[in-house]
Amino acid sequence: MTDFPRIIEDSAASRFLVPREAFTSKATFEREYAAIFDRCWLYLGHASELAEPGSFLTRKVARRPILFTRDKEGAYHALFNACPHRGALVCRERKGAARAFMCMYHGWTFGSDGHLMSLPGSSGYPEGFKADPQKQMVHVPRMERFGDFFFISFARDGEDLATYLADAGDYLRLVSEHSASGMQIVGGTQEYAIRGNWKLLAENSFDGYHAACNHSTYLDYLKNANGALGATPLSGIAYDLGRGHAMVEYTAPWGRPIAHWVPLWGEEGKAEITAIHAALEARVGPERAERIAHRNRNMVIFPNLVVNDIMAVTVRTFYPVSADYMEINAWALAPREESEWLRKYRLYNFTEFLGPGGFATPDDVEAIEKCQQGYASGGDALVNDISKGMNRNGGPQFDDEEQMRCFWREWDRRLSEVEA
C-alpha cells in the first residue's frame, strides 16, 4: 500500500485519470520534495548569465538558496548560500561581479569557489582552523553542464545529466542552434506566483488543447492586427522524450525571429529573415533549419523546466511553496548576433504573450487558480480526465494529452519508489 494518490491508467479502455488529491494533499506535497525535487536534476542557469570570470548570481532552487559563481579562472561553482559559521546568507545581492564574498554577520570572507579566505580574530582559533573542510562554503552535491544550460542535483548519486535528459537533450541543442555565435539570456527576470498546485502549470505548459478557448482574446487580437498572422495553420504532434520529459511540436501562424516571416514585418524584414534562414540552412542543413525556423515547441523537462520555443524563446522554472502555491521565474533567450529590430519584436512577443502582464499568462494563471479552487468542492468528481488522444491512430496530436500522461507516469513512478 502507498500513502499517496495513484494515477489510474487503463489503455484498453483509453482511460487515464488523476486523483485530485494529488493537487491538494499536504502529505503528497512533502513526499514530492523527497522523491522529486531532492533527487532530480534541476535547472540552475545559463552560461551567458555569468559572462565574465568573477560574475555571480543568487537563485532559490527547490527552497534552497544557491550562489552560482564563475571564479577568476573561469570555472563555474554552485554553492549553498549559507555561511558555515552561523548560517547567514553569504551573498545578499541578486547578481554582479565580486572577487570575494563577506558574510555580513561576523565578516567571514569566501572566494568564488567557496573557500574560506579570511576571518576576523583569527588568532582566537586553533592552527589549521581556516583550512578545515567544515569551515568552507558547501558545494551542491552535483552540478553538470549541457551546452550552456547548467543543472544541479541535491542527490549525491544517480544518473548523469545527459542520461537524465534523454531525448530532451536534442531539443536543448536545437534551441542553441538558433545562433551561430551563441544564445544569451536577455536581461531581466519575470517573477510571479500562482495560487495553485505546481503540477497544474506543468500540464498547462505543453497543453495544446486549451489555447483556442483560453487564449481566444490573443488570437482575435492577432487576427485584427494587420499582418500579424501568416497563413500557416496550427498543427502538430506530441512527443514522449523519456524520463517524464515531453513536448509538443507544431506549426503556427505567428512570426518567429528565427526565421518565420509574417507580413507585419514588411519587405525589409522579409529580406533579413530570408538571409537568416539561408545562413541557418547552410550551418545545420535543410531539414534541421526547417524545424528551427518553421516549427514551434513547448517542452517540459521533468519536473519543472519549461522551454517554450515559439514566437520567442522562454526558459521558465516553477517551484511549489505549498500544495496550493508556487513561485515562477522566466527568462528570454535570444541569439547574440540578433539585429535590433528583431530583438525588439522578440521581446515584444515575450512580454505581450508570455509575460505575467501579457495576453496568455494571466489567462493561464486564472485557469490554474480556478482549478485549485474547484478541487475544494469534493463530491463525486474526484479525478481529472487526461485521456484525450489515447490509442489515436497515427499517434498523439499536439492538442491531445499524451505529453501530460508522460509527466504523470514519471511522477507516479518516482513517488512509488519512496518508502511510506
Mean pLDDT of the chain, nearest integer: 94
* Local confidence band at 357 (pLDDT 50, 70, 90 cut-offs): confident
Distance separating alpha carbons of residues 160 and 47, to the nearest angstrom: 19
- Beta strands across the sheet bearing 8-10: 8-10, 15-19, 383-385
User: Is the confidence at residue 70, as pLDDT, over 60?
Assistant: yes
Mean pLDDT value across residues 214-240: 83
User: Is the confidence at residue 160, as pLDDT, over 50?
Assistant: yes
In sequence order, what are the beta bridge partners of 144? 151
Residue 418, class by beta-carbon neighbours within 10 Å (0-12 exposed, 13-18 middle, 19+ buried)?
A: middle
Supply 55's cell numbers.
560574475
* Global model pTM greater than 0.85: yes
User: Is the confidence at residue 362, as pLDDT, over 70?
Assistant: yes
User: Is the confidence at residue 379, as pLDDT, over 80?
Assistant: no
Q: What is the pLDDT of residues 109-123, one digit of tens each?
A: 999 999 999 999 989
Q: Residue 1: what pLDDT?
A: 36
Mean pLDDT value across residues 176-204: 96
In sequence order, what are the beta bridge partners of 313? 309, 333
Q: What is the pLDDT of residues 271-306, one digit of tens each?
A: 999 999 999 999 999 999 999 999 999 999 999 999
Give the Cβ contact number of residue 102 at 10 Å.
Answer: 17
- At residue 183, what are phi and psi to the nearest 5 degrees? -95, 155
* Local confidence band at 420 (pLDDT 50, 70, 90 cut-offs): low
DSSP one-letter code for 195: S
